[in-house]
Amino acid sequence: MSKLVIEGLRPLCGEINVQGAKNSALPILAASVAARGESVIHNCPRLSDIDVTIKILRYLGCKVTREGNTVTVDSTDIIRDDIPLELMREMRSSIIFLGALISAAGHARVSFPGGCDLGPRPIDIHLKALRKMGITVNEHRGFIDCTINKNIKGCKLALEFPSVGATENIILTAVKAQGRTIITNAAAEPEIIDLCDFLNSCGAKITTGDSGTVIIDGVSTLNGCSHCIIPDRIAAATYMCAGAVCGGDIVLNGGIPSHLSAVIPVFEECGCIIMQEQSKLRVIAPDRLKAPKFIRTMPYPGFPTDAQPPVMALATQCDGTTVFVENIFESRYNHISELIRLGAKIKLEGRVAVVEGNTSLYGTNIHAFDLRGAAALVTAALCAEGKTVIYDTDYLERGYEDFDVVLNSLGASVKKI
Ligand code: EPZ
């Protein structure tokens, strides 16, 4: 496992390019197996999660080449419709291959995705929807076996929770079903829209309404296409936190304000000046940060759970107290113990974390436990006095492209060892 050595209290200034969205690239790469021929995916971030997805695509028989941020997938010679345990274990979100394989091969066999540091991560909503669409789903010895008996019939599906992964799996299954599938209370994240745009470019017929409704009219074939991944709103929010805690003035090239509609007001409440210049977002930190009073994570367009950890690190530096309520994941507070080791004053009661602001942080040795928690620790280390060593920072490579290089380009001192 790698570690980062960070010298804190350096002002951040400059312009960075926001990477392509991890949570858009993963489902789109999986979806390419359901499209015949070649798909060319641009602005694909270089991340370890993308590496695992490419490994899975090659295991299935796809030809995959990567040149910088462009990944080309040729799914002509798919030979398998299963994902082995070891590959599922490497990345739990590979459950997204379920719908893509059902569409591509009429059958899919994957192992139950493991839980992770955020909680059990069940897939009951996924499986209930597939069964309602007429797919035979057998769960046996930790494996899920999905078979289409006769043609999949489109149907109405009301999700009990707007699950991102379940929405994606249903869309990927319904694109080649017979007739119309209507999903209500679907996830509406920008990454879902990006997946639908990719599939429509492949010949699918998908429309997304404002109120979390997705309508899919099944088609017989999908053909590979060329697509450019949207910018990563969570990476953008993370760099905004880094700039804000360091009294910085940073420009995010590719930050899309509408994708950050619940995040930007939090930074404005902190006293940051946010300016939009064409496709650039400029964030200027105030001399003294004011605490955002109350942050509750919600499905999009609410405040994104993935931004909660780095924003919590920001909250430790703001005048006042911030109350966080994590409504999406059961235990997404693993970073709190490590922030406290740096000197933060945080009280945790179940899903509620109360962060006392205006705390001086002091560098020490700390450990990362998950991707966004690691981003919180880096954010805190940037405004801690002295040297902080963060262990187990391989997590960062799952979701942030060249995190250390980007921060150093803004004036930080981050050494990856
Ligand atoms: C996606 O995870 C993202 N991952 C997560 O980002 C993100 O935090 C999450 O959506 C919420 O926005 C990818 O897109 C690869 P969910 P996903 O299904 O699809 C419960 C990151 O840091 N649930 O919307 O797994 C579940 O337990 C990652 O980039 C069920 O109960 O999220 C969780 O509490 C972390 N049953 C909540 O819903 C189900 O069948 C949200 O899950 C499915 C989900």
Q: Tokens in use for 95?
A: 């459950």
Supply the pLDDT for residue 152: 83
331 band by pLDDT with thresholds 50, 70 and 90: confident
Ligand 1 and 164: CB distance under 6 A = yes
Supply the pLDDT for residue 115: 62
Instruction: Provide the phi-psi class of 260: left if phi over 0, else alpha when psi is between -120 and 50, else beta.
Output: alpha
Ligand 1 and 373: CB distance under 6 A = no
Q: Which residues are catalytic?
A: 116
Query: pLDDT per residue over 355-382, tens digit each?
Result: 999 999 999 999 999 999 999 999 999 9
Cβ contact 180:217 at 8 Å = yes
Query: pLDDT per residue over 395-413, tens digit each?
Result: 999 999 999 999 999 999 9
Beta strand segments in 77-236, E? 82-83, 107-111, 135-140, 143-148, 156-158, 180-184, 205-208, 214-217, 226-228
CA of 192 to the centre of ligand 1 (A): 12
How much is the average pLDDT of 183-204?
98
* Residue whose CA is at the smallest distance from ligand 1 atom 13: 23
Supply the pLDDT for residue 384: 98
Asked if pLDDT for residue 117 goes beyond 90, the answer is no
CA of 364 to the centre of ligand 1 (A): 32
Percent of the chain with pLDDT over 90: 90
CA of 93 to the centre of ligand 1 (A): 9
Question: pTM for the whole thing?
Answer: 0.97
Supply the pLDDT for residue 1: 80
Q: Which of 164, 171, 400 for a ligand 1 pocket mutation test, highest count of atoms within 8 Å of Cβ?
A: 164
* Residue whose CA is at the smallest distance from ligand 1 atom 7: 306
How much is the average pLDDT of 286-298?
97
CA nearest to 148, candidates 167, 130, 166, 128: 130
Ligand 1 and 127: CB distance under 6 A = no
Q: Tokens in use for 393?
A: 């920072």
Ligand 1 and 161: CB distance under 6 A = yes
Ligand 1 and 361: CB distance under 6 A = no
Handedness of CA 26, 179, 39, 16 (dihedral sign): negative
Give me the domains of the chain, ranges plus CATH numbers: 3-18+231-416 (3.65.10.10), 22-228 (3.65.10.10)
Ligand 1 and 284: CB distance under 6 A = no
Supply the pLDDT for residue 328: 96
Cβ contact 356:294 at 8 Å = no
H or E stretch at 119: none
Supply the pLDDT for residue 310: 98
* Averaged pLDDT score across all residues of the chain: 95
CA distance 398 to 374: 11
Supply the pLDDT for residue 114: 65
18 band by pLDDT with thresholds 50, 70 and 90: very high
Supply the pLDDT for residue 136: 95
* Residue whose CA is at the smallest distance from ligand 1 atom 26: 121
Supply the pLDDT for residue 116: 67
